[in-house]
């Protein structure tokens, strides 16, 4: 089970992802989570840094779909001003939304990467769908009530992975 929960990569933030390296590996598309991956879970709009990140993805020719478990109103409010394709109420870690995103972008799963801040939704769902996964440190340490429960289990799993050598990172508050 730990294999399905283990990300292929782990970085502190979306800004540390090397797009040229992804392109060299044949990646053509990005599926990204929204809340606490791109912006705080309660922030309505993209920051200037996220807008620049989207611009860089576009410059590298990488297609993007935002896949979120949040409701349509919340996801649309963020995505429409940025002119970003999205899937709301995704029911991650189910594979359906990940496969649907690949279909909409016209790419195969092996040409795609999933970026997210949660092991039990983003990483597990991406791994189940056969997609390369990148786990990022959450943008903020606050979460909605549902995610708080997942975070407790997630900290346990991350510590276990670290002890087994399955994942390596610098120690910081979000991973303790």
Q: Can you give the pTM of this predicted structure?
A: 0.86
The whole-number pLDDT of residue 159 equals: 78
In the numeric block, which tokens belong to residue 32? 């990204």
Mean pLDDT by 10 residues, the chain (176 residues): 84 95 96 95 91 97 97 96 97 97 98 96 96 92 64 75 69 39
pLDDT score for 135: 93
Token duo for residue 125: 């769902």
Which class is domain 2-167? alpha beta
pLDDT at residue number 146: 62
């Amino acid at each position: 089970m730990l294999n399905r929960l283990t990300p292929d990569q782990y970085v502190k933030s979306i800004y540390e992802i090397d797009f040229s390296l992804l392109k060299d590996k044949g990646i053509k598309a990005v599926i990204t989570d929204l809340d606490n991956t791109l912006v705080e879970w309660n922030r309505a709009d993209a920051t200037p840094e996220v807008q620049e990140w989207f611009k860089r993805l576009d410059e590298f020719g990488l297609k993007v779909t935002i896949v979120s478990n949040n409701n349509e109103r919340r996801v649309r409010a963020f995505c429409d001003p940025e002119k970003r394709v999205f899937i709301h109420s995704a029911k991650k870690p189910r594979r359906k939304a990940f496969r649907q995103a690949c279909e909409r972008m016209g790419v195969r799963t092996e040409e795609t990467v999933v970026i997210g801040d949660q092991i039990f939704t983003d990483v597990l769902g991406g791994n189940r769908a056969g997609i390369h996964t990148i786990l990022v440190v959450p943008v903020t340490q606050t979460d909605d009530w549902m995610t708080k429960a997942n975070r407790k289990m997630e900290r346990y799993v991350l510590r276990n992975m670290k002890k087994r050598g399955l994942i390596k990172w610098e120690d910081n508050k979000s991973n303790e």
